[in-house]
Amino acid sequence: QLQLQESGPGLVKPSETLSLTCTVSGGSISSSSYYWGWIRQPPGKGLEWIGTIYNSGSTSYNPSLKSRVTISEDASENQFSLSLNSVTAADTAVYYCAFMIFGVVTHWGQGTLVTVSS
Amino acid sequence: ETVLTQSPGTLSLSPGERATLSCRASQSVSSSYLAWYQQKPGQPPRLLIYGASSRATGIPDRFSGSGSGTDFTLTISRLEPEDFAVYYCQQYSSSPFTWTFGQGTKVEIK
């Protein structure tokens, strides 16, 4: 059974870089058919797609975040990662890693709260 | 970029009642790539409906989806206590490659 687990710091200072890793079990991130992504949810608000990695390294990002986001993968560890630079309080959110196929998210990590504060 | 607008923002109903949730797109969306999710507090969303009208594995048949073009609907035929939650619609586009969520509809107990 496919499982995803986010990990990373829960507190990041303003202007610094938020870095999270998603560890995948029960499936290989190297499959060309699979898409892996990051979605976030500010406290009490809705869901926002951040970006997706697919086809062993191709990426696509939300235009509103594109200048600050990088998603990468480490096939040897079966992990993919999120880097978001120049963070502000507006980036405080629960960050979910996700498995996407045929245009939908079928599997989600449990989510990790990242707070941006000095 | 396609914007999804959900209505109403909050739906106050009693168990046993029918819930009708709307998702309107700013431009035509492929029905193949319109999905609905349910989210309860402290949990990630759960896929309910994909392809506008197909139920995901394990989803009860009281949940149904319909629509095409720019107007889509999620219907819960008879609300069970566990159905009170927030519901999101979502669309995927391959050109440009984007994923978009609606702002959500909260179904609360009246």
| Least CB–CB distance from B44: residue in A96, A103, A104 | A96
Q: What is the pLDDT of residue B38?
A: 98
Query: Residue A69 — very low, low, confident or very high, per pLDDT cuts 50/70/90?
Result: very high
| Span B6-61, pLDDT tens digits | 999 999 999 999 999 999 999 999 989 999 999 999 999 999 999 999 999 999 99
Q: What is the pLDDT of residue B96?
A: 81
Decide if A69 contacts A62 (C-beta within 8 A): yes
Is B1 part of the contact surface with chain A (CB cutoff 8 Å)? yes
Helix (H, G, I), strand (E, B) or coil at B17: coil
| Span B78-102, pLDDT tens digits | 999 999 999 999 999 988 889 999 9
Please provide the size of chain A in residues: 118
Q: What is the pLDDT of residue B97?
A: 85
Residues A27-54: what's their mean pLDDT?
92
Q: Residue A60: list chain B partners with CB under 8 A.
A: 96-98
Residues A101-107: what's their mean pLDDT?
93
Average pLDDT score over chain A: 95
| Least CB–CB distance from B101: residue in A48, A102, A108 | A48
Contact (CB<8Å) A52/B99: yes
Query: Residue A24 — very low, low, confident or very high, per pLDDT cuts 50/70/90?
Result: very high
Q: Which two tokens stand for residue A89?
A: 């309080």
Average pLDDT score over chain B: 96
Per DSSP, chain B holds a count of helices (H) and strands (E) of 0, 10
Burial of residue A70 (number of CB atoms within 10 Å: 0-12, 13-18, 19+): middle
Q: What is the pLDDT of residue A34?
A: 85
Contact (CB<8Å) B100/A110: no
E strand or H helix at B34: strand B34-39
- Residue A58: closest CA among chain B residues belongs to which residue? B97
Beta strands in chain A (DSSP E): 3-7, 11-12, 18-25, 35-41, 48-54, 58-61, 69-74, 79-84, 93-101, 104-108, 112-116
Burial of residue A108 (number of CB atoms within 10 Å: 0-12, 13-18, 19+): buried
Give the B window 50-89 contacts with A, CB below 8 Å.
50, 56, 88
* C-alpha distance from residue B9 to each of A1, A18, A24, B6, B36 (Å): 35, 31, 35, 7, 15
Q: What is the pLDDT of residue B69?
A: 95
Distance CA B46, CA A108 (A): 8
Name the maximum alpha-carbon separation found in chain A. 41
Contact (CB<8Å) B97/A48: no
The pLDDT of residue A32 is above 80: no
